[in-house]
Structure formats: C-alpha cells, structure tokens
Structure 1
Amino acid sequence: MTKATNSVSLQNQTGTDRDLPGMELLKSLDLSGLTRENLDCRLAEAITAVADYFQADHGYVMLADEEGNFCKAAAAKRNAQDGDTVTASNAVIAKAAQTGATVSVADAMNSEQFGGDPDFQRFNISRALCAPMQATDNVCGLIYLDDASGASWDTFHSDLLELVAKYVTLAVKNVEAQESFAEKKRMIAAGRAALNLSHSVKNILQMISGAAEVVDFGLRSNQIHRVKRSWDILKPNLERMRKYTLEMLDYSKERKLNPGPADFNRVIQGAIESLKSQLKAKNSRINIRVDRKIPEVFLDAERIHEMALNLVLNAIDIVDNNSGLVSIETKYHSNQELVSLAVTDNGHGISDEMKEKIFTPFESEKKGFGTGLGMPIAKQIIDQHNGTIEIDSKVGQGTTFTVYLPVRLTEQSG
C-alpha cells in the first residue's frame, strides 16, 4: 500500500483554495456496479484505498453471516508476510458490534478499557479504529483499521470512517436487494409458468394416459401394431413434457456462469449437431458459415451452447415444412474484440409488436407448441455474458437474430 494525502483542494465561491479533508478518499470509493460475483474484489479495492488514506497497517471489511458472526470479506495489509490471517483486535471488533458505535483506541497496550486484550501485543497494535456498518437496527458489518504507529486517530478520522462504513453498507445492501428482487422475479416467473402451462400439461397427460392404455392392451393381446401406433403418440408428448419441465426450471432459477477457454465455432456447431432430428422432421435445410479467424474465447461454453440451441430451434420451428432454410454465421470483430452469431430463417417474419415482446416469458407466436421460454432464456444467457442481441425482420421475408459477445468475460459478468 502507498501513502496518500489527506485532503483535496477545491475552489470556493471567492476563488481561493479550500481544503476538504477526506473528500479525495470518498471520491475514490466507487462501488457502483457491485454484484455478488465481484463483491470480494471490489471491497478489497475499497479497503485498500481506506487503509492507504489512514496510513494503517491493516484494514478489514467484515460482514455478518446468518448467525451474526463477523467474517472477513476483504483485507488490506501493508506487510504481505502477514498472509491471510486476520490480525485484528477481537475486543475492539466485539465492542463496535455490540454498541453499534465507532470504537477508537490509542496507545492500545496501555488502554484502560482494552489493555487486557492479548491481540494488541500479539499483532503489535498501537492504535485501532472500528466503525459499524449499520442497517436499520442491526450491525451487518464492520470497517476495521489498526496500526503499529504511536500516533492516534482523531475525531475527524472516526467521523470519516463512519461515512465510509455507511457508503459500504448501502452498496452491500443494494446487492442484497437486487438478489431479493431477482429471486422474487424468478418465483413469479415460476408461478406464471405453472399457470400458463397447466392447460397444455393437462392435455399432454391425457394423451399419454390414453396412449399408455392402448399400449397395455396391445401388449396383453399381442397386437404389436397397436403398441407401435401408440408409441408414436407417447414419444413426442413425453418429449414435450421434458422440454416444458426443463425450460420452466431453467428460467425460474439463477444459474451462475462457469466461464473458461472455449472454441466458439465448436460450441455453436455442437448446438446445431444436436438439432439434426428436428431439421429432418421438417425436411428443412441449413447453411453454416464459420469464421476461422475467431480466437479462443473465454465464456461459459455450456450456457452459450444452450443459447445457440434456443435460437436455432426457434428458427427451425418458424420455417415451413419442406421449404425451410436456416442460415448460421459466426464472425470475429477484431476492432471491438467481439464474436457474433447470426441465425437467419426464411419464415414469415416478426411483426413490430412481437419484436417488443419476443424476449418476454410466455409470449410466443408458435401456435400449439413451444413454452414461450426459449427466447427469454437465450436473452438471459446473453445478458449474463455482457452481450447484446439484435433483430432484423420484415413480415413475409424472414428474420435474422444477431448475437454479439465479448471475447473475454469481465469480472462483473454473471
């Protein structure tokens, strides 16, 4: 860590310089865009800036778990030899957590209040400062600093650390609120899925039940032709049930990304390969053009496979039997460090009204089949990868969906 100045100079209304202590630190603490995935990294950056400003040897952000225990979420240490061990005063931490007030200790080893704390001697702590992260009536975390220096932190430093703690609290609670909101949306989506699909599932179950009775009768009477005929009814309806169930589960739950190096063309071709039976069933053609210059990408190959699967399957479903044509093209955009996937069909096109709703769950123009979740799931995966999707369509002339993805995922993704 490096030492930083403790003020920033601004012009006041009279044109003279005025020092606003602490403003430089507060301006440098940017926790916008904080997510559960980047929480540890971003808090580590923040506590490092705070420890530098206060010229502290150690700094910690400690968050309360479900049982009320305070666990290290991020740390800053001037001496790398300290390792990952938390070298802090448990007595100071406990006092701040218990009272919900900032605790400041100077000349720690001779302190009347904390002089008996063995952590002061064990970790060579001369001064310590701990501000609670207060959320309503509960302490949800702590910002802790200590140092071996003999100088004490004054009231200004206590007040400033309290401001830092309030800002970090707001950022962390915003992450929790976003997660809660996302979870409620997923639960609502699951409920809507059950309501929207209940009628279709009921019809499918009735067909399966009827076909199963015929199969049972055919087996008992040795009429194999009845068994074969009923199996032709059972098989597609079992597949429809499987698809409904998997898509409802997939959309209604949060799946974290598992990114890694991947061959983008191979991922896309793998998705196409798995849809050969659907193409054959519709007697449709498919054209594939891949850009061999695409470098190795860093993304969640399984999720991108699923995204491509949904886009291509949507195109296959849209085109007419016997005359359907689906074209797929990958490209590398080196200037922007992006890869793209374009899926084009020669179907009937999409109206402007439907373009606005196509990524909304359960909005589908496919009559009699489809869950209305395939395209929303594809969009969900694209968003997780910080990508975009564009629609180019004219009624009666077909549609092209073009997906743009960064070659490498950033830490904010997912």
Structure 2
Amino acid sequence: MTGYESLDELKESYQELTPEKWHDFEEEIVENQVIKRGYSDEYEKEYIHKDGTVFPVSLKVWLIEDDDKPMGMWGIVRDITERKEAEEKEEILHSLLRHDVRNKLQVIRGYFELLDDTELSDEQEKFLNKAFKATEEGSEIIEKVKHLRKAQEEEIKEVRLDSTVHKAVDQVRPTAEEQGIEIEADCPGKGCEVLGGSLLDRMFSNIIENAIQHSEGSKIRIHGEIGEDEIVCIIEDDGKGIPDRKKDKIFDQGYTTDKKRGTGLGMFLVKTLLDIYGGSIEVKDSELGGARFDVRLRKV
C-alpha cells in the first residue's frame, strides 16, 4: 500500500507516512478515543507513498496494553482511493445535473410567462397555472436533494439556537403571510448554544413549511423548554393535525400526505439532520388542535 516492505525503512516513525496537516487531528483521536477507551472510531486521513504521492486511507486503531499500561497501538488501514475518486465523480455529475435541470426549468418558466401574456381561455389558464406549479416543485426537489447531499458532510458545531430559529422563521414568513398564517415565535434558550450545523436553520424552516403547506390552520406557534442537557423546541399549529397511523411514517423518504403539493423529502431531511446532530424529533397532537413537533437538541 505504502511502497515500504517494512516500517523499519522509515527514518523516524510511522508518522512520516502522514502529511503534517493531519498530525493534530490524529493526535486528538489518540488522546480522546484510543487512550481513554482503548480504541478509535473509524476515521479518514491521508498517507504518503514511498514515491511521494499522497493517497486517502481509512483507519480504526486499538490500544495495546500490558498490566493496564499503554505499550503501543495497532490498527486496520484501508486504501480508499477508488472510493474517493468515485465519490468525486458522482458529486461532479450531480452538480452538473442540478445545474442543467435548473437552467432548463428557468427556460420553461420564461416561455410560460410569455404565454401568460397572451389571450388564454379559462381552461388554458388553469393548465398554465399547473405547469407553473410543476416547475416550482421541480426546483424545490433540486434544492432538497442538494441539502440532503450536503447533510452527509455536515460538520457538527456549537450554534446559537435563538438566532437560528428566527432565521428559519424569516425564510418562510412571506409564504405564511400569503396564506394568512400567523407565526408566533418565542424561541427557548435565548443566548443558549446547541449542537448543530450550517443546515440547522433549514431543518427548522422545513418543519414550519410543512405546517404552512399541510396544516390548513391559521397559526403556528414556536416555543420550548430548557432542560439540564437538552433544549426542546416545540413547533405546533392549530390545523387539522396528523392521524396517529401516519405519525411514524412522515419522516420516511418519499412519504407525503399530499402528493399534489409535497415532495416527500422535507421531513426526511429534518430527521436526517437531527440524526447527524445527535438530536431527535417527535410528533404529537397539539393543544392548539393541530400537529406538534418536539425537536430535541443537545445543549452545550
């Protein structure tokens, strides 16, 4: 794999195999995982081949002890060059596909707008409105797929909860106002930080959008509870609610209660992101009469 027949060929230690940019990262894994609990999670870094080329590897490391004293480490290393190259090609193809489809949708919408300026019968107006809606849904699917792919690479970090929730509300408020829906946001944990990431606001806006599209209510209320180790952010509405038989299904990929307006990706993205952040979500009946979503996030 490395071009060396034995580690004895190295001038100093096995660390010569690792580019310097990975040294701090690997030292942290050794200190916080291997030394503390005796093994590491599987992680990725790079090795330097004997000929000087750099290639990606994945490792899992175990501690060697003698009478409870650390004596060394051993590990399993895999060359993941082919996998990384395949992932890179896949990302390029997906990026091109999203770009091309989005451009085609814009062209179609442009022609629809020109057609809308002509004299149309009531039936033709009806068909044109359906076509407009289909292009909007196509763009929405592209955005949600993009966020789903980005979620797999999401980096967990400390995030201000109140500003994140207010950002999500600002994103969807115009749509809510168009449909006569009031959003009341009394965010829990002002100034508190939770474990999240760059898509945490998108997670909240998807839940609120779901209520706007499907609740048939007139009010959405956001509030919460602060615990010792977690913050529960509650999003509820005064709409028609969600039947018990459907509560466990709404987070499944592709599931939607309204195929005319839903893509089946929004709530799946919510669950995917919360799994990454170490959080959770539960759907209940709201005291307002509609649905209630309890989002649990780890408090920092």
Q: Do the aligned partners of residues 232 and 42 (structure 1) sit closer, same or farther apart at CA in structure 2, a change above 3 Å counting?
A: same
Q: 1:275 is matched with which residue: 168, 172, 177?
A: 172
- The whole-number CA distance in structure 2 between the counterparts of 1:143 and 1:264 is 37
Give, as a single letter, the amino acid of the residue that structure 2 aligns with 1:241: G
Alignment of 1:12-411 (within 5 A): 41-45=28-32, 65=47, 67=49, 164-165=73-74, 168-169=75-76, 209=108, 212-213=110-111, 215-216=113-114, 236-253=133-150, 254-257=152-155, 259-260=157-158, 262-291=159-188, 294-300=190-196, 302-320=198-216, 323-333=217-227, 336-393=228-285, 397-408=289-300
Alignment coverage as a number of residue pairs: 241
Aligned partner of 1:382: which letter?
Answer: L
Contact preservation (8 Å) 1:382, 1:389: yes
CA distance in 2, matches of 1:316, 1:303: 20
| Aligned-partner residue type, residue 374 of structure 1 | G
CA deviation string 1:81-121 (max 9, x = no partner)? xxxxxxxxxxxxxxxxxxxxxxxxxxxxxxxxxxxxxxxxx
The answer to whether the 8 Å contact 2:234/2:294 transfers is: yes
Structure with higher RCO (Cα < 8 A, 6+ apart): 2
Cα RMSD of the aligned pairs, angstroms, is 4.8
CA distance change for structure 1 residues 390 and 224 in 2, over 3 Å: closer, same or farther? Answer: same
- Aligned residue type for 1:294: K
| Structure with the greater alpha carbon radius of gyration | 1
Q: Structure 1 unaligned runs (5+)?
A: 1-37, 51-61, 72-134, 146-155, 195-200, 409-414
Contact map agreement 1:208 1:233 (CA 8 A) in 2: no
TM-score, with structure 1 as normaliser? 0.46
Tell me the amino acid that sits aligned with residue 42 of structure 1: I
Q: Report the AA paired with residue 245 of structure 2.
A: E
C-alpha separation in 2, matches of 1:233 and 1:357: 28
What's the offset of the Cα at 1:370? 1.8
The share of aligned pairs that are identical, in percent, is 17
TM-score, normalisation: structure 2: 0.61
* Aligned-residue offset at 1:389: 1.4
Structure 1 distance, partners of 2:160, 2:297, is: 13
The structure-2 alpha-carbon separation of the partners of 1:294 and 1:234, relative to structure 1 and needing over 3 Å to count, comes to same
Q: Contact (CA 8 Å) 1:326, 1:345: kept in 2 or not? A: yes
